[in-house]
Structure 1
């Protein structure tokens, strides 16, 4: 009779992780003073001020009388998401993978929180009422076409005196690669328009839509998806000071089985509550190129 010998199985601590990039929209986060302003309320009241221009000074009558307009715009927190992850004590013990439950927290941040946060940010900015949008199919475009359109956008912003030092270009890796190859193949041709941006950020198409749907978690539908009315974004130009973006409340904690009254399980909970909005007077600092 032939021998039958089962090989020993040895488990490693190396995780077979899915590919995901870190959060890409954090460069648009608002300064701390904005977060402090929204600390204790559901809405933020932002002052808007404008004054009349100069008039002639006459020696008989002196100064002309102008006017000051001081009012408020109201912005409401619009992002409130969370999740609870459970792992039964026996499942953890018998599988011998408690480290895996610990690692699940990092996976939650990397594969779910970061992509959804980016997708929500870009869709809220691109879909905001009053933002200039242009529909363009770049599927067969050449780099010169993209550079020409970027030049048109930057020229328009420069003429409207939009700050260049904090102007960001968010663009798909496909289009960015097209621009990168352009300088290699055409070393004598210019792509200086790219110097009009403080930073260029590549955003994978899966996070880059004009409108998304945040799934409720009912019926095993979690995370986000492109809304039926949404379209893929080609690129997004954003001047940072035009954006209100911060998290008012972020809570994350791991509970042991001894802390849970009704379950003999480990539990990890996470919640994120915040806002992504635009200032009414700074919509000239935002442009969205939407796919056809």
Structure 2
């Protein structure tokens, strides 16, 4: 099997693993909201329109403006790594170890980092609602979520696509109450996704691969209790690429080399929909 065939086979597999395992893939845009650009850029659909004016029997309808444009933005980051399997390691069953290696790499390295970077990016957006608070009990969490939904209701944020990202610990505290009040507040969210606390920070530091790999919580960052996003308020995107080189082509050793790279838009918040994002974090 040549390098082109391997890349063609494994890239869709990586995309499937990402879609299944990522906690934030629900925010990814489709072809109606995101288009690939050039030179590290991506195009985001942006719709704006004027409100109503008075109808005039002489001149007729007011002539407001409606615009639909593709706004060009830069990807936030390009991240990469190369995965290696020595020529002598299970040569006859190369597909099996690489399938396992690449899937584990995505599940344990790429996806946690991508989720953490997206949550941090959304939490740092200007104009959104943020609240610093300590949630020590299930009752505290219910009250905080009620404050979130009430704020969005008052701001006329659509209710049908409110996505709640919450730590398993806080979600468990609500579940343990098992009360009408706790169940009712959860019904205010269309989707509830439990996100491990290691991915829930208001800011992270991405390592450059020279002094370390992966990501860490930024020095001044806070822990995120929960993040609510109305789906049309923000969009994310990630493009993945892989290349394969045989041991004979490997210039640095004698290995099967699978080079992985991704371009990431960790989050673009529409400036006219900032009311659709609400963050609760620790003090």
Please report the TM-score for the alignment, with normalisation by the length of structure 1. 0.80
Q: Is the 8 A contact 1:86 1:265 kept in 2?
A: yes
In 1, distance between residues paired with 2:25 and 2:44?
23
Unpaired runs of 5+ in structure 2?
1-19
SS of the aligned residue for 1:258 comes to coil
TM superposition outliers: structure 1 runs of 4+ over 6 Å:
none
Q: Is the 8 A contact 1:256 1:266 kept in 2?
A: yes
Residues 44 and 189 of structure 1: is their aligned pair in 2 closer, same or farther, counting only changes over 3 Å?
Answer: closer
Residues 173 and 93 of structure 1: is their aligned pair in 2 closer, same or farther, counting only changes over 3 Å?
Answer: closer
Q: What is the RMSD of the two structures over their aligned residues, measured on CA atoms?
A: 2.6
Report Cα offsets for 1:195-219 as digits up to 9, x if no partner. 1111111111101101011100003
Residue 280 of structure 2 corresponds to residue 280 of structure 1: no
SS of the aligned residue for 1:280 comes to coil
Structure number with bigger Rg = 1
Report what 2:49 is aligned to: 50
Report what 1:233 is aligned to: 224
In 1, distance between residues paired with 2:170 and 2:105?
29
Deviation of 1:89 after TM superposition, in Å, equals 3.2
In 2, distance between residues paired with 1:145 and 1:156?
17
In 1, distance between residues paired with 2:221 and 2:62?
49
Report Cα offsets for 1:78-137 as digits up to 9, x if no partner. 1211101234435x379x996555522121011001101110111111111111111011
Q: Which of the numbers 132, 149, 154 marks the counterpart of 1:159? A: 154
Please report the TM-score for the alignment, with normalisation by the length of structure 2. 0.82
In 2, distance between residues paired with 1:283 and 1:152?
17
In 2, distance between residues paired with 1:223 and 1:131?
27
Report Cα offsets for 1:247-271 as digits up to 9, x if no partner. 2x31124432022244322212111
